[in-house]
């Protein structure tokens, strides 16, 4: 049975679909888990923490625009606080594509900034998509484990390999349940607070956004993280049309 959870984190805890090309990869075709866990990182200043009321993660995709999940902002009860490299800023302007409910493949939102935060070089562009077997990075401000929710608010980074592309892009983290970006550094997944964060793929010498954290579900002794697929025509059009 799949037990699904979205991974925005409430502050009270301390702080038409595109089918994938290729077949789902079994554990025997995925990297052997490293003994090291996903670690804190100062890379990617364009990936920031947002709150209201949940802790979530967002990505700078335009000089004035952050990309995140709809379920991170669609219940906002005031301005969204953005923890930027220059200090906290607030925004009351955002646009959502989907409802953000469980299983929504259009769980996307754009949050608009009153002024540019960073240089054009820190803006992350969208890539054209992924296939099973592609190497990716997971970046977010979520907790290190479901038993340590107060560890949210620290940017963590880990790698993984795409295991499946269906309505969502999926990556698998073995041997844990709802405890990942923690987990093995080469098989990282998502945890509470990572919602809205990016799935990154290297294209040439650039890291580009291919997905946005929607949620995760337990699968046997491990966890499968799901990312909204930015190669879906509805999702790509939404971002391209409304980015500023």
Helices (H), the chain: 70-73, 233-242
Examine the domain organization and report whether 138 and 203 are in the same domain.
yes
What is the tally of structural domains in the chain?
2
User: Tell me, what CATH number does 110's domain have?
Assistant: 2.40.10.10
Helix (H, G, I), strand (E, B) or coil at 238: helix
Examine the domain organization and report whether 32 and 100 are in the same domain.
no
* Bridge partners of residue 162, in order along the sequence: 171
Examine the domain organization and report whether 56 and 161 are in the same domain.
no
Examine the domain organization and report whether 101 and 222 are in the same domain.
no
Examine the domain organization and report whether 139 and 199 are in the same domain.
yes
Q: Which of 161, 169, 173 is nearest to 37 (CA)?
A: 173
CA–CA dist 105, 112 (Å, integer) = 22
Please give the full DSSP string across 122-172, using - where no structure is assigned. Answer: GPPPB-S---TT-EEEEEE---S-TT-GGGTTS-EEEEEEEEEESSEEEEE
CA–CA dist 183, 142 (Å, integer) = 12
CA end-to-end distance (rounded Å), the chain: 41
Examine the domain organization and report whether 52 and 94 are in the same domain.
yes
For residues 78 and 114, the answer to whether their CB atoms sit within 8 Å is: no
Q: Can you give the pLDDT at residue 164?
A: 93
Q: pTM, whole model, 2 decimals?
A: 0.85
Examine the domain organization and report whether 145 and 222 are in the same domain.
yes
Examine the domain organization and report whether 57 and 103 are in the same domain.
yes
Sequence-distant (6+) residues with CB within 8 A of 182 are 37, 38, 143, 144, 145, 156, 158, 176, 188, 189, 191
Residue-number span of the structural domain to which 84 is assigned: 47-122+234-242
Q: Can you give the pLDDT at residue 222?
A: 81
Examine the domain organization and report whether 153 and 213 are in the same domain.
yes
Under DSSP, the state recorded for 184 is B
For residues 61 and 243, the answer to whether their CB atoms sit within 8 Å is: yes
Q: What is the mean pLDDT of residues 24-51?
A: 75
Examine the domain organization and report whether 188 and 118 are in the same domain.
no
Examine the domain organization and report whether 202 and 134 are in the same domain.
yes
Q: What is the mean pLDDT of residues 156-176?
A: 89
Q: Residue 20 — very low, low, confident or very high, per pLDDT cuts 50/70/90?
A: very low
Examine the domain organization and report whether 194 and 136 are in the same domain.
yes
Q: Residue 105 — very low, low, confident or very high, per pLDDT cuts 50/70/90?
A: very high
Q: Can you give the pLDDT at residue 188?
A: 86
Distances (CA, A) of 12 to 52, 107, 220, 234: 11, 23, 30, 34
């Amino acid at each position: 049975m799949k037990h699904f959870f979205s991974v925005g984190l409430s502050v009270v805890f301390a702080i038409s679909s595109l089918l994938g090309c290729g077949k789902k990869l079994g554990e025997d075709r995925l990297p052997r888990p490293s003994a090291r866990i996903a670690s804190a990182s100062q890379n990617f200043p364009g990936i920031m923490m947002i709150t209201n009321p949940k802790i979530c993660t967002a990505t700078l995709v335009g000089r004035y625009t952050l990309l995140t999940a709809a379920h991170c902002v669609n219940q906002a009860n005031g301005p969204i606080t953005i923890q930027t490299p220059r200090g906290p800023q607030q925004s009351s302007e955002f646009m959502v594509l989907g409802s953000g409910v469980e299983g929504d493949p259009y769980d996307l939102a754009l949050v608009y900034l009153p002024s540019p935060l960073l240089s054009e070089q820190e803006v992350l562009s969208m890539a054209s998509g992924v296939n099973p077997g592609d190497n990716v990075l997971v970046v977010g401000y979520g907790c290190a484990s479901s038993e340590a929710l107060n560890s949210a608010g620290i940017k963590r980074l880990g790698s993984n390999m795409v295991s499946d592309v269906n309505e969502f892009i999926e990556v698998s983290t073995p041997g844990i349940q709802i405890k990942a970006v923690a987990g093995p550094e080469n098989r990282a997944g998502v945890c509470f607070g990572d919602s809205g964060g990016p799935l990154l793929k290297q294209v040439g010498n650039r890291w580009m956004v291919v997905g946005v954290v929607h949620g995760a579900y337990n699968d046997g002794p491990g966890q499968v993280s799901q990312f909204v697929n930015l190669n879906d025509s509805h999702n790509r059009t939404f971002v391209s049309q409304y980015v500023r």
